[in-house]
Chain A
């Protein structure tokens, strides 16, 4: 069979009338690629000639595949339903072989399982509620396991895998420095520029550094850093653990007597708790630098004034609370990332689903926690 030739030109159908019988001669190659056209041609012959019996002659066939054979069987079946007696003649051994693999029973076998059906609103709401309940339960269980694992690690510091902690510190922290720095500078620039546009109408340019510094240290620094880490590392944690679940690596850990949660989660949580506050300080610094650039180039402030004004605005309390916040966000990001990873059951799609869920849940929890912290720190002061 020539592989290159156009499939449409590879076959020929001719016919001859013999008494009340129609003989259809098939020659050439019949396959998937010309199935539609040759089947239509044969059906047309049946329709035009209106005969009571027909023979389909295969003596000229050089190649036929199973799909083409199936199509011819369907034609034969349709003919029978219209009371036309159609038989297949002059089949070579090879062609007979092809027909022999088509099982009538398989074609009419009903699926063992119904295809996915649409469920009603009530069912959907019910299922969603159950799934939310299950998520909450899962979260509480995981929090318990995580606290237990942390307590165990504190009591048995030697069980901590330092190499893993350092590895994740590099992944979540060092590798994140460029993007965190860049975003912070840009946020500082925008913040300074936007506040300048408003404050200049009051002649209060001198407060731009205060505003930038206050916003960066108290809110934007921790939040922006946390969101970036959730996107970069929370997702990575979920995908990593999820893939391990799919590959039965988590089962292997459990059967070897390791507590999978402790083994996989603790190094990540500790790494994040160390790294996120440092990243937050770094983000604060670069945010203030961003403001400084606008201050010096556009606001006629000297660098000295800008820095003094900035330092006047914040107190040690603000920095410390922002670092506490950052550390708490870190636990949320790493914890949720790992928890979602453990929820993966099978397949690539599950890994994608829970990785997305890890990022979304982490960001949501960060914002909720941040509002609680805002109120708490206000009353503590």
Chain B
């Protein structure tokens, strides 16, 4: 189902975020289409995570709209937001598993809160989700007993607990070894293909971006907005923008603003 022609599920319209006098995002507009994997890239401090927080309703915009399935989440009431939150799943940078609960309790939490299923069914669903992320058998472990990659996978299982329409990943492979990172990429692609879940990934791992992305949007610190949008191949091969080129060629730009004269 990896199509980029589907109808949009999230529409961001002229989103601006300001902290005091510091503008982080200026008039950012784009769409996330149903079933696609959209990767948001850009250098550190360009507002990737802020944009993600805007999309999941954790950060209010100074101006602009964010539509999820037609509903403006910036202007929605708490009850509507609650429906919205059940339709999204988020994997945070540090996995954010609740350390006082076992893996089973972590994954079962949204199920017990939002559904009226009996304990045996919930237990079975937890086992299924753990199987999906290749962690079968770890339900009684505590988060502190898992490695970084396993925590991420458990985090994905929790994010998927309610079979959300959209999954968000903040810095998916941050702090992981390359092999674990590749395994996670495969898991993302497999889940996207099997379940058709729309995915929004914040990343700056070039390899991972080229592998998983259907479409990439690139943010820039100076222009505080999107400077390029397209498939990874398009951006890598056809873009003439030096900032995009330097990112995809993994080089610091020629006119780097760092003054290195003191080195000589």
Which residues of A are in contact with B by a Cβ distance under 8 Å? 3, 31-33, 35-36, 65-67, 70-71, 74, 94, 97-98, 100-103, 105-107, 109-116, 346-349
State A347–B94 Cα separation when bound (angstroms).
Answer: 13
B124 touches A36 (CB 8 A): no
List the A side residues contacting B115 at CB < 8 Å.
Answer: 32-33, 35
A-B contact sample (11 more), CB < 8 A, given A36-B117, A101-B191, A101-B194: A3-B69, A32-B117, A33-B115, A65-B163, A66-B195, A70-B128, A97-B195, A100-B194, A106-B127, A109-B136, A349-B100
Say yes or no: is B1 at the interface (Cβ < 8 Å to chain A).
yes
State A100–B192 Cα separation when bound (angstroms).
Answer: 12
List the A side residues contacting B124 at CB < 8 Å.
Answer: 70, 74, 107
B100 touches A3 (CB 8 A): no
CB distance from A353 to the nearest CB of B (A): 10
Given contacts A32-B163, A67-B163, A109-B137, contact A347 B125 (CB under 8 A): no
List the A side residues contacting B69 at CB < 8 Å.
Answer: 3
A348 touches B99 (CB 8 A): yes
CB distance from A106 to the nearest CB of B (A): 2
CB distance from B10 to the nearest CB of A (A): 13
Say yes or no: is B141 at the interface (Cβ < 8 Å to chain A).
yes
List the A side residues contacting B125 at CB < 8 Å.
Answer: 67, 70
Say yes or no: is B254 at the interface (Cβ < 8 Å to chain A).
no
Say yes or no: is B144 at the interface (Cβ < 8 Å to chain A).
yes
CB distance from B188 to the nearest CB of A (A): 13
B136 touches A97 (CB 8 A): no
B1 touches A94 (CB 8 A): yes
Say yes or no: is B201 at the interface (Cβ < 8 Å to chain A).
no
CB distance from A355 to the nearest CB of B (A): 15
Per-residue A-contact encoding for B45-71, CB less than 8 Å = 1, 0 else:
000000000000000000000000100
State A109–B134 Cα separation when bound (angstroms).
Answer: 12
List the B side residues contacting A31 at CB < 8 Å.
Answer: 163
Say yes or no: is B116 at the interface (Cβ < 8 Å to chain A).
yes
CB distance from A310 to the nearest CB of B (A): 52
